Structure 1
């Protein structure tokens, strides 16, 4: 069963805008994963983002990794390994996390203008170092604190799945 974490609390007086998103733990054969640093807000996050209207989760996952890192990935399977539900201001977001294998990491990111302004950059590091980086930073924004909590949880769950031998390539 997929694990679920709720971040924030639903406020009865708030009308929420719903959003669905994917987060990806993209593994190179060297066992390094992609991690995104966001300068504006001082936090690390997993590659990922919103699922567009009529887009499949797996297509969204592949697109987001390629946009944010330039890498081409293949998802290990169609099952998400963990889910988060966030209540942040007027946003109700559900994120689905997937494991993927990097097929080609030679491409360049194609960041949006907002992502460039926010100072997104990616690096590859072992999963334990990525977790340590996520835990050790002190985000300077509310958004960064939400993302930090979400992605530490998702990466911890991914690590457990990998250590247990689940999430193997299909």
Structure 2
């Protein structure tokens, strides 16, 4: 279980899959984030395309101080896609612990349903600069896009590994 979890949650957490290598002598800054595998009424999943670094990812982002996982997931999803979601339960079904640069990020993934699409995103400047855009595709197409993309940055390669893992785990979770 990741240490230093100081977020207000009632959900249980699976053991995280480790991505990257924790290097000795490096002081890592902790960051906690949520990811969302959200389905619309047609059974399609939302993914984001980061055009600048040529990779696809799941919606999500950092948990703000005082924010619980559900609040963070809903906020991040709406900011990045314009969609309003409801989580399927309160339990995180998969987690990762990533070591990259000087950051240790623990990400928690949830399955959700699209309730309403406002059509209005609220991207920050970094996301705009990354050419971030979203699309709704079948699970098979999401897997194909994510697997065949060739990220041009270390960050993009790390995100690719993390989010392919999350998508595959979500498929298993939904089949149970």
Shared fold by TM > 0.5? yes
Aligned-partner Cα distance in 2 for 1:126–1:51: 28
1:150 aligns with 2:162: yes
- In the other structure, the counterpart of 1:11 is 23
The structure 1 segments of at least 4 consecutive aligned residues displaced by more than 4 Å after TM superposition are none
Q: Which moved more, 1:155-164 or 1:16-25?
A: 155-164
- Superposition deviation, residue 3 in structure 1: 5.3
Runs of 5+ unmatched residues, structure 2:
1-12
CA displacement 1:20-58 (0-9 Å, x = unmatched):
000000111110011000011100000000000111100
Runs of 5+ unmatched residues, structure 1:
165-170
- How many aligned residue pairs are there? 164
- In the other structure, the counterpart of 1:104 is 116
1:82 aligns with 2:71: no
CA displacement 1:143-165 (0-9 Å, x = unmatched):
0000000000000000111122x
- In the other structure, the counterpart of 2:6 is none
1:47 to 59, 65, 80: 59
1:70 to 64, 67, 82: 82
1:36 aligns with 2:52: no
Q: TM-score, normalised by structure 1?
A: 0.94
CA displacement 1:105-136 (0-9 Å, x = unmatched):
24221101111111000000111110111000
Q: Which moved more, 1:1-10 or 1:81-90?
A: 1-10
Aligned-partner Cα distance in 1 for 2:141–2:120: 23
- Superposition deviation, residue 2 in structure 1: 2.8
CA displacement 1:36-88 (0-9 Å, x = unmatched):
00011100000000000111100000000000000000011110010000000
Name the SS for the 2:16 alignment partner: strand
RMSD over aligned CA atoms reads 1.0
Q: TM-score, normalised by structure 2?
A: 0.91
